[in-house]
Structure 1
């Protein structure tokens, strides 16, 4: 699904050219559950942004489902991103004044769906993450783990090609983190959701089928995660 070949990326800071990604070559298949690990400043966030159609300023080749996604203009690229990628963030990024139902419906509304058409899809997504009974609650009425489940429902509601989870357990305690990782694992195995997760946590990475370690802009190693 995702094929990157010899990706190089540079930033300019204070008239100095900084080499951020160095000859990255990487393949991610459908239905994989992949962790991307590395210290701060390693280039992993830049790599994820490139994969997610957020940053096309690079040298090399990136093919998504056999085509060069970055050939599109910004408007079409934005539409492709909304259709193809679901995002889950460490800080949940829910809209406080919107109900759970309204938060999860956002990607569908953005894609042009009518509001009355969204409810069955939203309720199905909430059922998959185990909080269908919370559809009418506000985020502040939920625990951190429940809020992250809302964020995951929002990410999967449009049936994207893959999910990017950026430190999804970073704001959660260890017990809740384990619940969230079990949920990701079930979505991957039963719903065949392709998941690309950025994490510093080796316990979270152990749920993935493959771990990619990035350091100083290079892929240091790739390996199979320890089974959980």
Structure 2
């Protein structure tokens, strides 16, 4: 599904050219559950932004479903991102004044769906993450784990090609983290959702099928987790 070949990326900082991604070549198939690990400043966020159609300023080749999607203009690329990628963040990024149902419906509304048509899809997504009974609650009325479940429902409601989860257990206690990882594994194994998870947590990474480690802009290892 995702094929990167010879990806190099640079930033200009105070007139100095910084080499952020160094000759990255990587393939990710449908239905994989992949952890991306690395220390702060390693380039993993830049890598995931490139994969997610958020940053196309690079050298090399990136093909998504055998197509160079970055050739599209901004509007079409934005539509592709909304249709193809579901995002889950460490800080949940829910809208405080919107109900659970309204938060989960947002990707559908951005895609042009009429609001009245979103309810069955939203309820199906909430059912998958185990909080359908919370549909009319506000985020502040939920626990951290429940808020992350809302964020995951929002990520999957549009049936994206893959989910990007950026430190999804980083703000949670260990018990809740285990529950969220169990949910991700269920979505991957039973719903066949492709998941790319950025994490510092080796215990969370160990539950993925595959671990990619990034350091100083390079892929150090593709396989088992190891200390960095």
TM-score (norm 1): 0.98
Shift of 1:216: 0.2
* Preserved contact between residue 202 and residue 225 of structure 2 (Cα < 8 Å): no
Instruction: State the partner residue of 1:161.
Output: 161
C-alpha distance in structure 1 between counterparts of 2:192 and 2:47, whole Å: 23
C-alpha distance in structure 1 between counterparts of 2:89 and 2:184, whole Å: 14
Q: What count of residue pairs does the alignment treat as equivalent?
A: 226
1:106-129: CA deviation from partner (whole Å, max 9, x where unpaired): 000000000000000000000000
Instruction: State the partner residue of 2:218.
Output: 218
Please list every run of 5 or more consecutive structure 1 residues that lacks an aligned counterpart in the other structure: none
* Preserved contact between residue 82 and residue 107 of structure 1 (Cα < 8 Å): yes
Shift of 1:225: 6.1
C-alpha distance in structure 2 between counterparts of 1:105 and 1:221, whole Å: 38
- Secondary structure (helix, strand or coil) at the match of 2:92 reads coil
Q: For 1:10-29, what aligned pairs fall within 5 Å after superposition?
A: 10-29=10-29
Instruction: State the partner residue of 1:89.
Output: 89
C-alpha distance in structure 1 between counterparts of 2:119 and 2:86, whole Å: 18
Shift of 1:96: 0.3
TM-score (norm 2): 0.98
* Preserved contact between residue 213 and residue 221 of structure 2 (Cα < 8 Å): yes
- Secondary structure (helix, strand or coil) at the match of 2:66 reads coil
Q: After TM superposition, where is structure 1 displaced by more than 6 Å over at least 4 residues in a row?
A: none
Instruction: State the partner residue of 1:107.
Output: 107
1:152-208: CA deviation from partner (whole Å, max 9, x where unpaired): 000000000000000000000000000000000000000000000000000110110
Q: For 1:126-145, what aligned pairs fall within 5 Å after superposition?
A: 126-145=126-145
* Preserved contact between residue 34 and residue 208 of structure 1 (Cα < 8 Å): yes
C-alpha distance in structure 2 between counterparts of 1:125 and 1:207, whole Å: 23
1:128-160: CA deviation from partner (whole Å, max 9, x where unpaired): 000000000000000000000000000000000
C-alpha distance in structure 1 between counterparts of 2:224 and 2:166, whole Å: 20
C-alpha distance in structure 1 between counterparts of 2:206 and 2:223, whole Å: 11
- Secondary structure (helix, strand or coil) at the match of 2:77 reads helix
C-alpha distance in structure 1 between counterparts of 2:64 and 2:16, whole Å: 32
Instruction: State the partner residue of 2:187.
Output: 187
* Preserved contact between residue 86 and residue 163 of structure 1 (Cα < 8 Å): yes
Instruction: State the partner residue of 2:43.
Output: 43
- Secondary structure (helix, strand or coil) at the match of 2:160 reads coil
